[in-house]
Amino acid sequence: MKSNNVFAALIEPLQRAVAEEGYTTPTPIQEQAIPHLLEGRDLLGCAQTGTGKTAAFTLPLLQEMTQNKKAASGGRPRALILTPTRELAAQIGDSIKTYGRHVRVSHTVIFGGVGQNPQVQALNRGVDVVVATPGRLIDLMDQGYVHLDRIELFILDEADRMLDMGFIPAVRKVIAKLPKKRHSLFFSATMPPVVEKLAVEMLRNPVKITIDPGKPTVERIDQKIMFVDKGHKNQLLIDLIDSHDMDKVIVFSRTKHGANNVVKKLTAAGISSAAIHGNKSQTARTKALAEFKAGKVRALVATDIAARGIDVDGITHVVNFDLPEEPETYVHRIGRTARAGLDGDAVSFCSAREREWLRQIENLIRKEVPVDSDHKYHSEVAQRATGSDARPEPKGRQGNRRGGRSGGRSRQGGGNRRSPRRR
């Protein structure tokens, strides 16, 4: 590695793991963050998903744990990574395993939706690093299975998503149990006032890094809108997947019931698919995601649990079967493609009752989404809808609302493997 490459500052076992993954060039956030983190500085990072953020904190974490080696004590980890969703927690755990394969740093991942006994057993054995979601962590703290009084390094990831999901009080409860003297890292894609206040309270003289993604993700994505009556959406989706050779597509449904229904229709049409949402058991969610990653499932149908929580190589298309009620969610959804600087495709279906949501989305992204009317289900009624025709359905009918536990945030496209992207 070149001497000006920040990977050269890593200890040899970590350099070897990075090289084995085929990475040679650090991403901007890795380049800017790693030197400061290796010096023990607190850090406030504002970066979008897909920027290589996870490797930016995982590598220094592993180095710090290795160089300051202490015996792991039962129920008292040395480092804590707090993240909003189960999927993201699992992915961070995978990153620690990947980059830490040549060092002796133990870790465990704890989240809800599965039995706690294996997690308790791992904690009792003693682990260096715990990756956790707030709910299960607090459950285990209240039961006396985990104590945070020996935490040396604390990482809060996806802070704005914590806010979206209503987890800020839980985050504050966790922080209150941490030692005052610690190394702290704070990451967020956006910085609303509540999140900014939390960062000020949590960090000491932090280095501040803001990563400009350059060309915005939404501009790298070929976006289209298809106006269609609600009753024709399923057949339009089937035709679209078949005619466009969509080999790896995420389909977003606004409700859990809707996601299940889409899977039923796709399966009946011979298109392999699986649903992932809050009513699915963690085992089922993990299985669906694994099969999607492996290419055994062609279409992953998801509620917004997946909008920020899934890291999958080579997602070529995102289809918004239902438009989201919040325009920011649209940006997070379509960002599942066009990872690592690559291009991608996003197609959105819009019925008459969703017309107002489309207007809000276009206001947010500051451009009109091109209309694709070259399909047999095109609805002039939906395209012209205004006023009462365009009123979205009452929120009480939609389920999976913002702030619910079904919310989520991962990722890189295929091809270019030169930088650790979001691992």
Q: Same domain for 196 and 107?
A: yes
Q: pLDDT of 37-67, one tens digit each? A: 999 999 999 987 667 899 999 999 999 999 9
Q: How far apart are the first and last CA of the chain?
A: 20
Residue 407 in domain:
no
Residues of the domain holding 277: 217-397
**Both tokens of residue 93?**
């755990």
Shared-domain flag, residues 362 and 234: yes
Q: State yes or no: pLDDT of 212 exceeds 80.
A: no
Position 57 in a domain: yes
Write down the pLDDT at residue 304. Answer: 82
CATH of the domain at 83: 3.40.50.300
In terms of domains, do 80 and 13 share one? Answer: yes
State whether 144 and 227 are in the same domain.
Answer: no
Residues 19 and 150 placed together within one structural domain of the fold = yes
Q: Report the percentage of the chain scoring pLDDT > 70.
A: 85
The pLDDT of residue 231: 95
Q: Are residues 193 and 223 in the same domain?
A: no
Domain count, the chain: 2
pLDDT the model gives residue 6: 93
For the segment 244-301, what is each residue's pLDDT rounded down to a tens digit? Answer: 778 889 999 999 999 999 999 999 999 999 999 878 887 888 889 889 988 899 999 9
Outline where 155-281 has alpha helix (H). Answer: 159-164, 168-176, 193-202, 233-243, 256-268
Please indicate, yes or no, whether residues 93 and 188 belong to a single structural domain of this protein.
yes
198 and 222 fall within a common domain: no
Question: Which amino acid would we find at residue 15?
Answer: Q
Among 190, 210, 230, residue at a domain's last position: 210
Could you tell me if 56 and 192 lie in one domain? yes
Most confident option among 39-53, 69-83, 409-423? 69-83
Q: What is the pLDDT of residue 315?
A: 86
Asked if the model's pLDDT at residue 68 lies above 70, the reply is yes
Q: Is residue 1 part of a domain?
A: no
- pLDDT reported for residue 93: 95
Please tell me the distance from the alpha carbon of residue 313 to that of residue 248, in angstroms, as a whole number.
9
- The DSSP element (H or E) to which 120 belongs, if any, is helix 117-125
- The last residue of a domain, from among 210, 228, 252: 210
Residue 412 resides in a domain: no
Q: Is residue 187 part of a domain?
A: yes
Distance from C-alpha of 133 to C-alpha of 261, rounded to nearest angstrom? 29
Determine, yes or no, domain membership for 284.
yes
Average pLDDT over residues 358-385: 92
Last residue of a domain, one of 178, 210, 242: 210
Percent of the residues in the chain that have a pLDDT greater than 90, as a whole number: 62
- Between the alpha carbon of residue 16 and those of residues 9, 10, 11, 100, the distances in Å are 12, 10, 9, 10
Angle at which helix 53-67 crosses helix 12-20, to 10 degrees, equals 150
Indicate if 190 and 266 belong to the same structural domain: no
* DSSP helix/strand/coil, 345: strand
Q: What integer pLDDT is reported at residue 71 of this predicted model?
A: 86
pTM over 0.85: no
- Indicate if 393 and 255 belong to the same structural domain: yes
pLDDT value at position 51?
75
Residue 147: inside a domain, yes or no?
yes
* pLDDT at residue 418 is higher than 70: no
Ranges 189-203, 298-312, 314-328: which has the least confidence: 298-312
Is the same domain home to 60 and 177?
yes
pLDDT beyond 70 at 413: no
* Domain assignment of residue 408, yes or no: no
